[in-house]
Amino acid sequence: MVINTGTCSFSDMKVWPGRGSRFISKDGKIQLFIGSKVRSLFHQRIKAVKLTWTQDWRRLNKKGRAETVKKRRVRKVVRTQKAYVGATLDDIKRKREEKPEVRAAMRDQALREIKERQKKKATPQGQKFDKGQPKTAGPKVSKAKGKQKNK
C-alpha cells in the first residue's frame, strides 16, 4: 500500500494522511499546512526564510546538507609554440635543438660582425667632414626678418 504524503507549503515538512489542513486562496492556489502554527504564520505574511526551523531557512543558510566535496577540475596547460616577428616556428625549433656550444659560437660571431659594422660607420671625433672637401654653408637666414621697427 502506498501512502501519499504531501509537503507543507510553508515549512516543507512531510504532511502525513489525516494531518494538516488545506487552504485554498481566491486565485485557486492550494496551500497545505502541517499545523495551526504554520497556518497562522502564513496568514500573518511572515516569510519562511526568516524562521530558523523551516527548511527554507536551512536551505538558504546551507545547514544539514551532507558535505559533498567536489574536486575542482584542473585544466592541463597545453603548451603551444607560436612564431613571432622575425622568426618562423621552424627556425625556433632548429635553434632549440642546437647544442649550446654551437649557439654561443654563432652569437660571438654575430657580435663581432656588428662591432665591425659600427667601426666602419663611426668617424673619428675630431673630423666631421672629409679633409678634401670644404665645408658647405647653407642659405643665410636673417634673424630679424620677422621683427619690424616701430616709428
Amino acid code (one letter) for 103? R
Distance CA 35, CA 25 (A): 17
Tens-place pLDDT, residues 115-131:
999 988 875 555 555 55
Distance CA 146, CA 148 (A): 7
Query: Does residue 34 form part of some domain?
Result: yes
12-40 average pLDDT score:
95
What's the confidence (pLDDT) of residue 23? 96
Query: Does residue 107 form part of some domain?
Result: yes
Query: Does residue 126 form part of some domain?
Result: no
Indicate the number of domains in the chain: 2
Decide which of 24, 43, 61 is a domain's last residue.
61
Percent of the chain whose predicted confidence (pLDDT) is above 90: 45
* DSSP strand pairing (14-15 vs 21-24): unpaired
Query: Does residue 12 form part of some domain?
Result: yes
Q: What CATH number is given to the structural domain containing 49?
A: 2.30.170.20
Query: Does residue 66 form part of some domain?
Result: no
pTM of the model: 0.43
What range does the domain containing 12 cover? 6-61
Q: If you average pLDDT over each of 53-67, 87-101, 126-140, which comes out highest?
A: 53-67
Query: Does residue 1 form part of some domain?
Result: no
What's the confidence (pLDDT) of residue 22? 96
